Amino acid sequence: MSGSEKQLFGLFAHPVGHSLSPVMHNRAFQALGLPYHYHPFDVSPQDLPEAVAGLKALGIKGINVTIPHKERIVPLLDELDPEAKAIGAVNTVVLSKQGRLVGYNTDGAGYVQSLLTETGVNLEQTRVLLLGAGGAAKAIAIYLIKNGCTSVTIANRTEQKAETLANHIRHYANAKNRQETNGPLTSLQVDVLSWTFLEQQGVTDYQLIINTTPVGMWPHVEQTPLALQGLKPGTVVSDIVYNPLCTAFLNNAKQLGATVHQGLGMFIYQGALAFKLFTGYDAPLDVMRQVVLKQLNLSSA
């Protein structure tokens, strides 16, 4: 792709108003001197098929996709990358040189890049507690396994959804292992715990605790998903909510001696990976972080 040609990118969401992706990508294009534009499109669920067909017709080179379209868009695409297929959801679509719409999911990879860069945690030796079993949890779980994690315990308000996610992860891990070593993965431990049991038992057994629920998100900033009873100092506690930047959950964890990992990094890295897929260029991470931080400060002021 030539960097001197005008190109249009965008976001499909409903509603789309509050998203920080347009300002982040447009600032990144500007920093690299690319004459590209990223536009937010408010696409209702019933209009999604026509909007996707319109991408080819209009020559829009790439889009991000968010609530409520991440799963619904899958059957409308020509191809999926293997991890997006395993997750069953897409947050980035690229129009290839051959004119095919290819779906990717950069949420899980973005989360793991942020986690490894910011905490240095060794996933192979880490017992993970995942709070929540929605779309973000699924993307994160797949990438934790892809990056060597061998122990995941899931707790979710609706326990049946935690069971479904656990089965999904086992299936992915076995398929991955069969491909790589010709045998089933024997060392992977995936468990489900009831929320009540987890509250009674405490979190002593885990070295990484990840909140993937929206609990604690602005304006309900005083709420936390779980009392961190029995938390060992040095445990990494991570929250994918990034507004506020440091949630009540992370503040509690910090007071108990944990290393905390904020959700902003996931947002920046998932955007940076999409940017690379869109443009072929490495994303200007610092520029993207600064503009998002500025917007978050303005919106919470």
Estimate to the nearest angstrom the gap between the alpha carbon of 166 and the chain centroid: 18
Query: Closer to ligand NAP at the Cβ: 14 or 161?
Result: 161
Q: Taking the complex as a whole, how short is the minimal distance between the CB of residue 179 and ligand NAP, in angstroms?
A: 27
Is 242 annotated as contributing to ligand binding?
Answer: yes
Q: Taking the complex as a whole, how short is the minimal distance between the CB of residue 262 and ligand NAP, in angstroms?
A: 9
Is 263 annotated as contributing to ligand binding?
Answer: yes
- Bridge partners of residue 35, in order along the sequence: none
Three-state DSSP class for residue 108: helix
Burial 179-213 (b: 16+ CB within 10 A, else e): eeeeeebeebebebbebeebeeeebeebbbbbbbb
Query: Closer to ligand NAP at the Cβ: 51 or 107?
Result: 107
Q: Which residues contact 69 (CB under 8 A, 6 or more apart)?
A: 12, 13, 14, 43, 45, 48
Cβ–Cβ < 8 Å for 95, 60: yes
Is 156 annotated as contributing to ligand binding?
Answer: yes
Q: Taking the complex as a whole, how short is the minimal distance between the CB of residue 169 and ligand NAP, in angstroms?
A: 14
Catalytic residue among 61, 70, 138, 146: 70
Is 157 annotated as contributing to ligand binding?
Answer: yes
Helices and strands (DSSP H and E) totals, the chain: 10, 12
146 is a catalytic site residue: no
Three-state DSSP class for residue 208: strand
Q: Taking the complex as a whole, how short is the minimal distance between the CB of residue 113 and ligand NAP, in angstroms?
A: 12
Cβ–Cβ < 8 Å for 127, 153: yes
Three-state DSSP class for residue 34: coil
Q: Taking the complex as a whole, how short is the minimal distance between the CB of residue 69 and ligand NAP, in angstroms?
A: 11
Q: Which residues bind ligand NAP (CB under 6 A)?
A: 107, 132-137, 156-158, 161, 212-215, 217, 225, 240-242, 263, 266-267, 270
DSSP 147: T
Is 155 annotated as contributing to ligand binding?
Answer: no
Query: Closer to ligand NAP at the Cβ: 16 or 95?
Result: 16
Sheet holding 62-65, edge to edge: 36-42, 7-13, 62-65, 92-95, 101-104, 79-80
Q: Taking the complex as a whole, how short is the minimal distance between the CB of residue 170 and ligand NAP, in angstroms?
A: 18
Query: Closer to ligand NAP at the Cβ: 3 or 214?
Result: 214
Cβ–Cβ < 8 Å for 293, 301: no
Is 136 annotated as contributing to ligand binding?
Answer: yes
Query: Closer to ligand NAP at the Cβ: 66 or 147?
Result: 66
Q: How many CA atoms lie within 13 A of 268 on its CB side?
A: 26
Query: How is residue 252 written in tokens?
Result: 């509690």
Query: Closer to ligand NAP at the Cβ: 132 or 244?
Result: 132
- Closest CB to ligand NAP belongs to which residue? 134
Is 160 annotated as contributing to ligand binding?
Answer: yes
Residues in binding site for shikimate: 19-21, 66, 91, 107, 242, 270
Catalytic residues: 70
Residues in binding site: 19-21, 66, 91, 107, 132-136, 156-161, 240, 242, 263, 270
